[in-house]
Structure 1
Amino acid sequence: MKKTKIYLGLALAVVTGVILVAADHIDAPSTTGTTADIADFYAFEPTEGSDNTVFIVDLQSNVLPDLAYGTFDENVLTEINIDLDGDLIEDTVIQAIPRDGKMYFFGPVTPTQKGLSGEVMVDSPLGSVDISTNTAITTNTSTGVKLFAGPRQDAFFFDFFQFNEVLTATPEGFKAPGDAADTFDGANTMSIAIEIPNSMLGAPTAQNALGVVVYKTWVTSNIKQ
């Protein structure tokens, strides 16, 4: 079985159910400005009661508006990890890696190596999609999977400058929602999105705070050794 070994860079976790998001804008200097830098990870049902799950990974976020879009680094493998038995170890993974203007997806599949390193599971192809530029391009596979990869405006709302003021003990504190400024409005990110039938993922075994049965999931970016 042909596989390419890679090395783990970063991880970010969420628990799916209703729409949830984990955010981690701007990482260590070695990853900032590259698609090894994980900004946001979203996991949610596309509609209430759907039998599908959507995963969206935002990479290489520019903090200030109007900065140029980046490109996907061909040495970086993005891996969505899913824990099905509650031990916080991935039982199945979905992988995405770019090559020559396309994003290739693999899985869902049990990884041969778990934890801090992994391999591209090329024997478990899921599909591919042309990486979008000015116009969004999506692919629908015969298994009911929808794929996207390309630049998008950063969807994360955060008053970054007021947050820094709070850290310096400003008496104002956080602003009211109507007065807060969305620092990321107009900022860019490189996004990978997949909608996939739950039947391909396995049965979820966790529950969120609302008592909804959910997947425990996190994303990692892995740099080729």
Structure 2
Amino acid sequence: MKKSKLLLGMAALAVTGVVLVAADHLDAPSSGGTTADIADFFAFEPETGSANTTFVVDLQSNVLPDLAYGTFDEDILTEINIDTDGDLVEDLVIQAIPRDGRMYFFYGEAADLGLNSQVLVNAPLGDVAISAETATVETTDSGARIFAGPRQDPFFFDFFQFNAVINPDPESAPLGFLPPSEAENTFAGANTMSIVVEMPNAMLGTTTALNAFNIPVYNTWVTTNRKQ
């Protein structure tokens, strides 16, 4: 199984700090709610004028604070695909795969394997301990910064009241949604298992892809791949 979300048009030499987001938190039955479920994909400059680009992949949008934060699946390979010539075929790929409490990252030219993938074992980027309560960030020899672990998603959602409102029984929530002062953020403290890579733009190289405004862009999207 290979699942993807598409995020197009991240400026290679962006002049604003705008975050481009692809998110839905509801996926097809074959992947929704599984460890291969892609909840969000963010790609942005960490600050205006930065020479780096940050990629954030959120997996498993049902991670609750009282469930020991959740874990990454060692059978799932996550790939951040990067197209630099505008043909919407990946030219570069960042890979992340967990093993024994650490997330291992690989980076290099993408192989044309169709719907399949293989780990770029000869092109390691670095590895980091998978965080729990305390965030751990490593800086690789190439200057990339990497992270893997639970993160709180940037939205407020009273999940249980929402379920009560949509319940067919009109007595389930006769007053509807709660006012802000009474609502509870069900996922406060956790929500997704996140993979974060901040890379120097020099590692990504130049791009000939252009958006509708003729601004050079990287076309980038995420796939998850389950070991067969």
Q: TM class by shorter-chain length?
A: 0.7 to 0.9
Kindly state the Cα deviation for residue 70 of structure 1 after the two structures are TM-superposed. 1.9
* 1:115 aligned onto 2:118: no
Larger Rg: 2
Structure 1 equivalent of residue 70 of structure 2: 70
Structure 2 equivalent of residue 148 of structure 1: 147
Q: Is the 8 A contact 1:83 1:91 kept in 2?
A: yes
Alpha-carbon separation, structure 1, partners of 2:184 and 2:211: 28
Q: How does 1:183-194 map to 2 (within 5 A)?
A: 186=188, 188-194=191-197
Alpha-carbon separation, structure 1, partners of 2:201 and 2:184: 34
Partner residue of 1:218 out of 216, 221, 224: 221
Q: 1:57 to 1:156 in 2, by over 3 A?
A: farther
Alpha-carbon separation, structure 1, partners of 2:90 and 2:45: 20
Q: How does 1:23-62 map to 2 (within 5 A)?
A: 23-62=23-62
* Cα RMSD (Å): 2.8
Kindly state the Cα deviation for residue 122 of structure 1 after the two structures are TM-superposed. 0.5
After superposition, the C-alpha distances for 1:24-73 in whole angstroms (9 at most, x for unaligned) are 3132333233320000000001111111100000000028x656332100
Q: Is the 8 A contact 2:86 2:210 kept in 1?
A: no
Q: How does 1:82-161 map to 2 (within 5 A)?
A: 82-107=82-107, 109-156=108-155
Alpha-carbon separation, structure 1, partners of 2:185 and 2:5: 21
With structure 1 as the length reference, what TM-score do the two structures score?
0.79
**Identity across matched positions, percent:** 60
Q: How does 1:167-206 map to 2 (within 5 A)?
A: 186=188, 188-206=191-209
Number of corresponding residues = 203
Alpha-carbon separation, structure 1, partners of 2:102 and 2:38: 20
Bigger drift between 75-84 and 16-25 goes to: 16-25
Q: Is the 8 A contact 1:155 1:184 kept in 2?
A: no
With structure 2 as the length reference, what TM-score do the two structures score?
0.78
**In proportion to residue count, which structure has more strand?**
1
| Secondary structure class of the residue paired with 1:123 | coil
| Paired amino acid for 2:217 | V
Unaligned segments of structure 1, at least 5 residues:
1-7, 166-177
Unaligned segments of structure 2, at least 5 residues:
12-17, 167-179
Q: 1:70 to 1:26 in 2, by over 3 A?
A: farther
Q: Is the 8 A contact 2:81 2:93 kept in 1?
A: yes
Q: Is the 8 A contact 1:145 1:197 kept in 2?
A: yes
Kindly state the Cα deviation for residue 199 of structure 1 after the two structures are TM-superposed. 1.1
Q: Is the 8 A contact 1:31 1:37 kept in 2?
A: yes
Alpha-carbon separation, structure 1, partners of 2:205 and 2:156: 32
Q: Is the 8 A contact 1:37 1:60 kept in 2?
A: yes
Q: 1:40 to 1:157 in 2, by over 3 A?
A: farther
| Paired amino acid for 2:142 | T
Q: 1:208 to 1:112 in 2, by over 3 A?
A: closer
| Secondary structure class of the residue paired with 1:200 | helix
Structure 1 equivalent of residue 175 of structure 2: none
| Secondary structure class of the residue paired with 1:53 | strand
